[in-house]
Structure 1
């Protein structure tokens, strides 16, 4: 395709599914900021909303009938790059921050980012096993499970909980790269996700309110 036929980069930013993807990226950036600041409830809220926007960009894309093939390809690439930030870099930074940037947490952070990059690259080449099945665990499940684990943070010392989330994230990374078939949630599962995000947002919002 020559330059005269190529649309400008920002022209794709007006595409509704891509706007949704970028809102998810904004949530991830905010979550990274709060993780670095040590405000973990706020970071978890950002993580949850990043997942919700990640689900909705695909839903919106499938409902739009007038999208071109180029828009679809661009959207898929954008979504994949945002996923590495939301579900790779973000949990790695959260782990490092919660571990007070101890050197022993660096290998874990690398494993999270590396396994995310490998999984997304593999998915971009091979896609789904079939229309309803992934090979290995989808990355968005990692942060949904991590958010649930943070509900029990107050039952542990910081050191014990940092080790716990370290172990959880390493196990999840192994499942991300495994050949275990896992279901691709869609359809009415979006309502389950919305409920989950709203309930946990309320809980972590309440925790934040009581810390003020």
Structure 2
């Protein structure tokens, strides 16, 4: 079989599988479960780079494969999957297509640009990157679940519209010139803690949405 098979890509594949499972839930209109899968994608992505770097004897081919497979999976998990969730919410008219196009194209361009610039940077220096240019696509694993948590205060259709419009805004931020600090290990742990709180809020939002019956959103 072609490809490189070792533990360094396991978490990357877990992110892809989580997105595929979440897509199933999205088309079943189980949005809470779909968004929980999106958050899992973000969790796996937080550590896949650390796991890859732990293997000291990687060949140049293995390193390049890891970079490429990570970007391809990120496109599915954070570029296409959030758009699928919005589509399953009922935004299926032709007039909705520009928002989907802005978001997905923004993610594609962002990932391709990052790969090119990172490859050039690594040829010049071994220093760790301190900033990202443009909003990282992985941020969607926090942004869109946070939007949906507004369910606790607003009507469901209002939240879905905010989610949909958010696609266009986030898509533009992907390719903007804003500088976003790259989190170190402590920063990653803080983000995971925030994600854990958001995870609980999302679960509770699902309970509220289903009429207050504890964990009724799990019955699918």
TM range (shorter): 0.7 to 0.9
Equivalent residue number for residue 166 of structure 2 = 168
Task: For residue 25 of structure 1, report the CA deviation from its aligned partner.
Answer: 0.6
In structure 1, distance between residues paired with 2:91 and 2:175: 27
Equivalent residue number for residue 5 of structure 1 = none
* Pair 1:18 & 2:12 matched: no
Equivalent residue number for residue 19 of structure 2 = 28
Equivalent residue number for residue 178 of structure 2 = 180
Equivalent residue number for residue 9 of structure 1 = 2
Equivalent residue number for residue 4 of structure 1 = none
In structure 1, distance between residues paired with 2:90 and 2:156: 8
Q: What secondary structure sits across from 1:188 in the alignment? A: helix
Equivalent residue number for residue 116 of structure 2 = 125
In structure 2, distance between residues paired with 1:145 and 1:100: 19
* Pair 1:204 & 2:214 matched: no
In structure 2, distance between residues paired with 1:44 and 1:84: 16
Contact 2:103 2:167 in 1 (8 A): yes
Q: Which moved more, 1:128-137 or 1:43-52?
A: 128-137
CA shift in 2, pair 1:76/1:26, >3 Å:
same
Equivalent residue number for residue 3 of structure 1 = none
RMSD, aligned CA: 2.0
Task: For residue 203 of structure 1, report the CA deviation from its aligned partner.
Answer: 3.4
Counterparts of 1:1-212 in structure 2 under 5 Å?
Answer: 8-10=1-3, 12=4, 14-127=5-118, 131-206=129-204, 207=206, 209-211=215-217, 212=219
Q: Which moved more, 1:85-94 or 1:149-158?
A: 149-158
Contact 2:106 2:174 in 1 (8 A): yes
Matched pairs, number: 203
In structure 1, distance between residues paired with 2:93 and 2:153: 22
Structure 2 portions without partners, runs of 5+: 122-127, 208-214
In structure 1, distance between residues paired with 2:203 and 2:145: 13
Task: For residue 131 of structure 1, report the CA deviation from its aligned partner.
Answer: 1.2
TM-score normalised over the length of structure 1: 0.87
In structure 2, distance between residues paired with 1:203 and 1:15: 36
Structure 1 portions without partners, runs of 5+: 1-7
Q: What secondary structure sits across from 1:9 in the alignment? A: coil
